[in-house]
Structure 1
Amino acid sequence: MKNTLLGVIDATSYYDSLGDLLLHRSLAALPIAGRYRLVDFVLSNMVNSDIGSVAIFPKYQYRSLMDHLGSGKNWDLNRKRDGLFFFPVPGLERNDETIGSFNHFAHHIDYFTRSTQEYALITNCYTVCNIAYRPVLERHVQIGCDITEIRHGGSSLHMYLVKKSLLVDLIKSRHQTGYTCMNDVVEDMESGLKVCGYEHQGFVERIDSIDKYFETSMNLLELDQWRELFKKDLPIYTKVKDEPPTRYTSEAGVKHSIIANGCFIKGHVDHSMIFRAVKVGEGTTIKNSIIMQKSQIGRDCVLENVILDKDVKIEDGVRLIGDPEQPIVVRKGMVQGALMNS
């Protein structure tokens, strides 16, 4: 069954509740777990399932997404045949912003008609999970399904496996049928199609709010949760950056945290996610927080229940203490000084 699946990632999703983190990037490019982006999970799942042709359909602020993925080399998708494709569509209407919009696909129908794969896998970009799609396809074929919807705990993950010829028919007939996306088809009990469910067991989180993003990040600090998501036989790939190891001074202290490469830690870090190239000054305490790439934190600061976006500068003596249910978010590139807190 190798090379029989076509990968389709819908990266048009946007949630107002994540607005502070999506000012300069698409949801698919949201950093998570120290060195990854949300799109890394579903894309790695596809590559691990022998999917060699993947189309990404973005809309909002997708420059950072394209910069992260590049030619697809880190996912072995920089190929002469098939590989990684980007299909942005300008002017997509709000009511088309559902997973797998047929109107969106229709703009690039040639991609589907020219591809040689027999089946298509349509997914969202915001679900953090580790799924092997081959068993889904095998069950789909064995039972004789028209559409298989992947679920977790009985709820849809908005991931659909469908025969490519049926998908093309659904796209072309959308104005006659009234179907706007795969979910419309699945929910129509009178569609005449055999819709099957596939229950996935394992770590699954849908990132659709600041609270869920923060909660998921904190959960991944637990070793059992981390191992459930990051499996040796099904690795999660990401963009490789050659950076030196993190340096720690003799006064530094790190407990129950994830520290990425290239950092310089002089203070204390407890139960936090620290991304690449972050600097933490002397006498500073960071607890239950997410500090994104290249942020700089001065001396004698206290940060608790805080999310710092990329390139944030925290000056000496700043105290930022949020609530676990409502963490403080400092936007990308902002400077936070002690006088600003008084």
Structure 2
Amino acid sequence: MKKKLLGIIDATTYHEELEDLIIHRSQAALPFAGRYRIIDFVLSNMVNTGIRSVAIFPKMQYRSLMDHLGSGKNWDLNRKRDGLFFFPSPVLESNRNRIGAFDLFAANLDYFYRSTQEYAFISNCYTVANMDLRPILEWHIHSGCDITEIRQKNGKSLEMFLIKTSLLIKLIETRHETGYTCMKDVTNDIHHDYTVCHYTYEGYAEMINSIENYYSTSMKLLKPEVWKELFLKERPILTKVKDEPPTKYEKGSSVKNAMIANGCLISGTVENSIISRGVKIGKGAVVKNSIIMQKCQIEDGCYLDSVILDKDVKIEAGAQITGTAQSPFVIRKGTKQGALMNS
């Protein structure tokens, strides 16, 4: 597999519905499940499949993404041959949120010329799934397809494509003559001679493209049946390793149906919530149905329900903040909040 498949992750997307959470970071670097970033899922799928050359095309606010991925060591991609490649994108407003923009690839065409992999797997950066690509590639080859678009059971595209590397290069080189700007243009056109196939992925998959979707997908992780579909021993979701002490639960604290990462100090009550690393929850504080990101501080006597706190948020003592499952209350990164608030 490592000599057959090239990994390409388009991280240029910017969904305005996620603005409160991605104004300071790439969508690919959005924290998820307490200790991961969204891109960890697609990248781990590639690595677990045997892909050893991965190109990431970021666009804006990608410092946090590069800090998270580094040299690719945690994904075994820090290697002399192949490995992890970053190709920051020029401004391509006309191709915004169009996965696999050919102008984007054309700016780095030498990478594709030098690749030895026969096939390329092109993916968005924001699909949460644990996907084995090997049976998909085998199906693609045996079906005689030129391009395979991966879809969910409901027929919705997962914005993932399999294609011969040589054909991808041809599409990039002839983009001005054909008018094709991205992979979707090709798969939607019925007038060319390419064989376009659709592979139905039967496993669990969610595309994170709005606050509501981010919240609902996160809350589903608290269901054992969903967790077991995503986090498999034989195909682990890899992420940046951080050495932190275990979480400390003080006397009188209460935790029910929650995911809590390392390095936290829990003195209050946590229910149906996801708590990231280094979070402090004070005495008498209640956190329910919420997502609390890294190093947030929730002081004594606070009440939070259906809330998303971005990193480094401080909630002062006695504050009450509530949202709903359909419209969770979001507090941006680094905010200090002390007023009585109800959404």
Please state which band the TM-score falls in when normalised by the shorter chain: over 0.9
What CA distance in whole angstroms lies between the structure 2 residues aligned with 1:250 and 1:39?
37
Q: Deviations over 1:83-131 (max 9, x none)?
A: 0000012222233541000000000000001111111000000110111
Answer whether contact 2:13 2:96 (CA < 8 A) is retained: no
Higher mean alpha-carbon deviation, 82-91 vs 287-296, is at: 82-91
**Code of the aligned partner of 1:134:** R
Q: Does the 8 Å CA contact 1:119/1:162 hold for their aligned counterparts?
A: yes
Deviations 1:233-281 (A, max 9, x none): 1110000000000000111100000000000000000000000000000
Q: What are the superposed Cα offsets for residues 33-86 of structure 1, whole Å, 9 maximum, x if unpaired? A: 110000000000000110000000010100000000000000000001000000
Return the offset for 1:324: 1.3
Q: Mapping of 1:280-319 within 5 angstroms?
A: 280-319=281-320
**How far, CA to CA, are the matches of 2:2 and 2:65 in structure 1?**
28
Q: Note if 1:19 corresponds to 2:19.
A: yes
Q: What letter matches 1:105 in structure 2? A: F
Residues 89 and 104 in structure 1, CA contact (< 8 A), matched pair in contact too: yes
Would you say the 8 A contact 1:245–1:262 is kept in 2?
yes
- What are the equivalent positions in structure 2 for 1:323-334 lying under 5 Å apart? 323-334=324-335
- Deviation of 1:339 after TM superposition, in Å, equals 6.4
Aligned partner of 2:256 in structure 1 is: 255
Does the 8 Å contact 1:316/1:338 carry over to 2?
no
Q: Residue 96 of structure 1 contacts residue 103 of structure 1 at CA under 8 Å; is this kept in 2?
A: no
Contact 2:14 2:96 in 1 (8 A): no
Contact 1:246 1:265 in 2 (8 A): yes
Q: 2:143 matched to which residue of 1?
A: 143
| C-alpha separation in 2, matches of 1:96 and 1:34 | 29
Residue pair 1:96, 1:180 contacting (<8 A) in 2 also? no
Deviation at 1:338, TM superposition (A): 3.6
Instruction: Provide the rounded CA distance (Å) in 1 between the counterparts of 2:321 and 2:29.
Output: 26
Describe the SS at the equivalent of 1:224.
helix
Contact 1:58 1:89 in 2 (8 A): yes
Moved more, 195-204 or 6-15: 195-204
Contact 2:31 2:37 in 1 (8 A): yes
Please give the alpha-carbon distance, in whole angstroms, between the structure 1 residues aligned to 2:97 and 2:341. 39
What SS does structure 1 have at the residue aligned with 2:216?
Answer: helix
Paired residue for 1:107? Answer: 107
Per-residue deviation, residues 158-204 of structure 1 (Å, max 9, x unmatched): 10000000000000000000101111101111111011111111111
Query: 1:151-230, aligned counterparts within 5 Å?
Result: 151-153=151-153, 154-230=155-231
Show the 5 A alignment for 1:28-107: 28-107=28-107
AA in 2 matched with 1:222: K
What is the 5 A alignment of 1:242-281? 242-281=243-282
After superposition, the CA RMSD in angstroms is 1.1
| Structure 2 residue matching 1:226: 3-state secondary structure | helix
Q: Provide the residue aligned with 1:8 in structure 2.
A: 8
TM normalised by structure 2 equals: 0.98
Whole-Å Cα distance in 1 between the matches of residues 158 and 80 of structure 2? Answer: 32
Letter in 2 for 1:148: T
Using a 3 Å threshold, how does the CA distance of structure 1 residues 340 and 204 change in structure 2: closer, same or farther?
closer
Alignment-derived partner of residue 241 in structure 1: 242
Q: Distance in 1 between matches of 2:205 and 2:340?
A: 41
Aligned residue type for 1:318: A
SS in 1 for 2:6: strand
3-state SS of the aligned residue for 1:242? coil
Alignment: residue pair count: 341
Q: For 2:120 and 2:139, locate their aligned partners in 1 and report how far apart those are by CA, in whole Å.
A: 15
Contact 2:244 2:263 (8 Å CA) reproduced: yes
Distance 2:3 2:218 in 1: 34
